């Protein structure tokens, strides 16, 4: 206990680590007075409710809400030293994977209180607390006519999104969100607080970009920000009669010849079991003040349209709109794969998805969605690297299509059937891309199902590097053994 006495400069009662989560929480309450919350308190309940998907609303023994990086260090030090303790790390709480950021036992560290946003260096850099939501970032940036590469949806968290990659309307121009980080402040397994950037712990800096919670707890991201006038974007909904035209337009859009760094699209096909209805919906952005941008004209020309919100506006406004389109408070599964653009593959995938979702029509609460979007180009070899396994300076990523299956439902008795159907559909999709020779190894962590292995998808070279970084910065394997949630390097 001597260590804690040093940290706090206080004389404390002796605290012993015992094999009880209750005593762990009591010990943390002594170390962090007023920052540890128990079931049936307002803070505890609101923290549990703040998980976006219901399955993640688990009830840990206690929830810690840190107000400083040193609070995070105290929690890590305690849980690392205490043989029985378990820790969950929560950012914005948007992972659909049960257990990723919460658990029914142990301590959950809810970083939401570390949400300060401050503009630095005359707007070139913005410091963002790891527990911020993207809407809190955009609210500040928009006031100054600035933007940054972050979530498209207002409520998504900064911590998970950046450490898993991060796809934004600005990604075609600027890459993944993680590629726009210049520095991360984090707490290591030892409790030490360090900066990881291009010149300090560069190996750790790269590892965190795709390594999520395997190396440390990021407490602050310093991200690049840039001048951004209001731009064109919104959503358009269509009937399923245009399915074929949608796919043709998407294949053409993804042809590298037509690459436009300002154009971004999420093309979705939606099936609602309640009324057996099928529509499609495109969320589109052109990051310049250009109405009817020609890069997106093939999509905006498709008729009939059920709704159309395309307009010039700001990031906050678009992010709020995108949040309205997202089903919340449901059970959910996300699963993902990647392939090189191919019209026949896109057509086959939509065809088998359409058939497979109709077979789930008896699950009345089901909303099934198939989404195609782009994998952004990678940063140049001269720039800081991520761990996603792409080859710097080659830009084949311009050809890459990210396929997301997302299913939402409320009837828990249907969970096993939907998970199994999603998994077998994904296998069928990957069989198509393999047969057509367009399959790509990489799987986006932030859209990966629990039963997928995104870390392994970065490739064996990357996995080897990640293991070296883990051995160096977390020699006792704290983040593998005592932070069980999320995609674990040790299981890849």
Ligand X SMILES: *[C@@H]1O[C@H](CO)[C@@H](O)[C@H](O)[C@H]1NC(C)=O
Ligand Y SMILES: Cc1cc2nc3c(=O)[nH]c(=O)nc-3n(C[C@H](O)[C@H](O)[C@H](O)COP(=O)(O)OP(=O)(O)OC[C@H]3O[C@@H](n4cnc5c(N)ncnc54)[C@H](O)[C@@H]3O)c2cc1C
Site residues for ligand Y per CB under 6 A: 52, 89-95, 100-101, 111, 130, 151-153, 156-157, 159-161, 163-164, 166-167, 212-213, 217-218, 326, 446, 485-486
Q: Is residue 199 part of the contact set for ligand X (CB under 6 A)?
A: yes
Q: Contact, 187 vs 216, CB < 8 A?
A: yes
Q: Directed axis angle between helix 415-435 and helix 343-358, to 10°?
A: 160
Burial of 26 (0-12, 13-18, 19+ CB in 10 A): middle
CA distance 485 to 162: 17
Provide the CA 394 distance to its chain's centre, in angstroms.
25
Q: Is residue 200 part of the contact set for ligand X (CB under 6 A)?
A: yes
Smallest separation (angstroms) from ligand Y to the CB of 91: 3
Which of ligand X, ligand Y, none sits in contact with 156, Cβ below 5 to 8 A by type? ligand Y
Give residue for tokens 């520095």: 183
Smallest separation (angstroms) from ligand X to the CB of 76: 18
Q: CB-based contacts of 419: which residues, under 8 Å, 6+ apart?
A: 333, 449, 451
User: Looking only at Cα atoms, what is the longest distance across the chain?
Assistant: 72
Q: Report the chain's C-alpha Rg in angstroms.
A: 22
Q: Which is nearer to ligand Y, 15 or 51 (CB)?
A: 51
Q: Is residue 190 part of the contact set for ligand X (CB under 6 A)?
A: no
**Token pair recorded at residue 180:** 């726009």
Which CA distances in Å does 38 have to 94, 404, 485?
22, 37, 20
User: How many of the chain's residues bind ligand X (CB under 6 A)?
Assistant: 26
Q: CB-based contacts of 266: which residues, under 8 Å, 6+ apart?
A: 152, 282, 283, 284, 371, 372, 373
Q: Would you mind telling me the total number of residues written for the chain in this entry?
A: 492
Q: Residue 92: which of 319, 265, 270, 284 has the closest Cα?
A: 319
Q: Which of residues 297-336 bind ligand X (CB under 6 A)?
A: 313-314, 316-317
Which of ligand Y, ligand X, none sits in contact with 351, Cβ below 5 to 8 A by type? ligand X
Q: Which of residues 127-186 bind ligand X (CB under 6 A)?
A: 142-143, 182-183
Candidates 18, 20, 309, 354: give the one binding ligand X (CB under 6 A): 354
Which of ligand Y, ligand X, none sits in contact with 454, Cβ below 5 to 8 A by type? none
Candidates 13, 14, 16, 40: give the one binding ligand X (CB under 6 A): 40
Give residue for tokens 């337009």: 249
Q: Which is nearer to ligand X, 396 or 459 (CB)?
A: 396
Q: Is residue 350 part of the contact set for ligand X (CB under 6 A)?
A: yes
CA distance 3 to 11: 11
Which of ligand X, ligand Y, none sits in contact with 152, Cβ below 5 to 8 A by type? ligand Y
Q: Is residue 340 part of the contact set for ligand X (CB under 6 A)?
A: yes
Q: Which is nearer to ligand Y, 15 or 100 (CB)?
A: 100
Site string for ligand X, 392-421 (x = CB under 6 A): ----x--x----------------------
Smallest separation (angstroms) from ligand X to the CB of 486: 25
Which three-class secondary structure state does DSSP give residue 398? helix
CA distance 97 to 214: 16
Smallest separation (angstroms) from ligand Y to the CB of 227: 22
Q: What is the DSSP string of 279-336?
A: EEEEEEEESSS-TT-GGGHHHHT-S-EEEE--EEE-HHHHHHHHHHHS--SSEEEEEE
Which of ligand Y, ligand X, none sits in contact with 157, Cβ below 5 to 8 A by type? ligand Y
Q: Which is nearer to ligand X, 350 or 466 (CB)?
A: 350
Burial of 345 (0-12, 13-18, 19+ CB in 10 A): buried
Which of ligand X, ligand Y, none sits in contact with 92, Cβ below 5 to 8 A by type? ligand Y
Which of ligand X, ligand Y, none sits in contact with 486, Cβ below 5 to 8 A by type? ligand Y
Q: Is residue 19 part of the contact set for ligand X (CB under 6 A)?
A: no
- Which region, judged by CB under 6 A, interacts with ligand X, from 154-162, 173-181, 347-355, 359-367? 347-355
Which of ligand Y, ligand X, none sits in contact with 142, Cβ below 5 to 8 A by type? ligand X
Provide the CA 116 distance to its chain's centre, in angstroms.
20
Smallest separation (angstroms) from ligand X to the CB of 141: 9
Q: Is residue 291 part of the contact set for ligand X (CB under 6 A)?
A: yes
Q: Which is nearer to ligand X, 97 or 283 (CB)?
A: 283
Number of neighbours of residue 475 by Cβ within 10 angstroms: 10
Provide the binding-site residues for ligand X, judged by CB under 6 A: 39-40, 142-143, 182-183, 195, 197, 199-200, 222, 240, 243, 278, 291-292, 313-314, 316-317, 340, 350-351, 354, 396, 399
């Amino acid at each position: 206990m001597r260590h804690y006495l040093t940290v706090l400069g206080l004389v404390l009662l002796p605290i012993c680590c015992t094999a009880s989560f209750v005593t762990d929480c009591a010990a943390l309450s002594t170390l962090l007075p007023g920052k540890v919350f128990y079931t049936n308190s307002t803070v505890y309940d609101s923290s549990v409710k703040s998980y976006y998907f219901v399955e993640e609303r688990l009830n840990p023994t206690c929830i810690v809400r840190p107000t400083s990086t040193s609070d995070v260090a105290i929690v890590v030090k305690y849980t690392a030293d205490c043989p029985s303790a378990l820790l969950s790390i929560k950012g914005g709480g948007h992972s659909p994977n049960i257990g990723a950021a919460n658990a029914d036992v142990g301590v959950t560290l809810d970083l939401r209180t570390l949400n300060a946003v401050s503009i630095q260096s005359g707007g070139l850099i913005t410091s963002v607390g790891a527990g911020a939501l993207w809407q809190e970032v955009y609210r500040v940036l928009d006031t100054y006519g600035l933007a940054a590469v972050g979530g498209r949806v207002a409520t998504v968290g900064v911590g998970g999104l950046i450490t898993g990659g991060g796809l934004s309307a600005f990604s075609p121009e600027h890459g993944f969100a993680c590629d726009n980080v210049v520095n991360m402040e984090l707490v290591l397994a030892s409790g030490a607080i360090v900066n990881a950037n291009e010149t300090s712990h560069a190996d750790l800096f790269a590892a965190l970009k795709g390594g999520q919670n395997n190396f440390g707890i990021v407490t602050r991201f310093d991200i690049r920000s840039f001048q951004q006038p209001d731009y064109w974007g919104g959503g358009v909904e269509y009937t399923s009669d245009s399915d074929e035209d949608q796919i043709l337009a998407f294949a053409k859009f993804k042809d590298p010849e037509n690459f436009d760094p300002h154009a971004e699209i999420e093309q979705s096909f939606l099936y609602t079991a309640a009324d057996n209805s099928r529509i499609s919906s495109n969320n589109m952005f052109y990051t310049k003040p250009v109405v009817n941008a020609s890069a997106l004209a093939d999509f905006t020309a498709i008729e009939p349209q059920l709704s159309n919100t395309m307009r010039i506006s700001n990031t906050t406004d678009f992010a709020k709109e995108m949040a309205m389109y997202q089903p919340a408070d449901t059970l959910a599964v996300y699963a993902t794969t990647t392939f090189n653009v191919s019209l026949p593959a896109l057509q086959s995938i939509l065809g088998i998805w359409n058939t497979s979702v109709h077979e789930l029509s008896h699950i009345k609460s089901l909303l099934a969605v198939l989404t195609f979007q782009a994998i952004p180009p990678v940063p140049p070899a001269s720039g800081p690297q991520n761990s996603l396994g792409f080859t710097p300076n080659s830009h084949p990523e311009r050809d890459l299509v990210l396929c997301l299956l997302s299913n939402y439902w409320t009837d828990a008795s249907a969970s096993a059937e939907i998970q199994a159907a999603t998994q077998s559909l994904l296998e069928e999709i990957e069989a198509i891309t393999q047969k057509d020779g367009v399959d790509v190894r990489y799987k986006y962590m932030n859209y990966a199902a629990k039963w997928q292995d995104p870390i392994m998808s970065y490739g064996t070279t990357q996995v080897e590097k990640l293991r070296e970084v883990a051995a160096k910065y977390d020699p006792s394997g704290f983040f593998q053994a005592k932070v069980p949630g999320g995609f674990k390097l040790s299981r890849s």
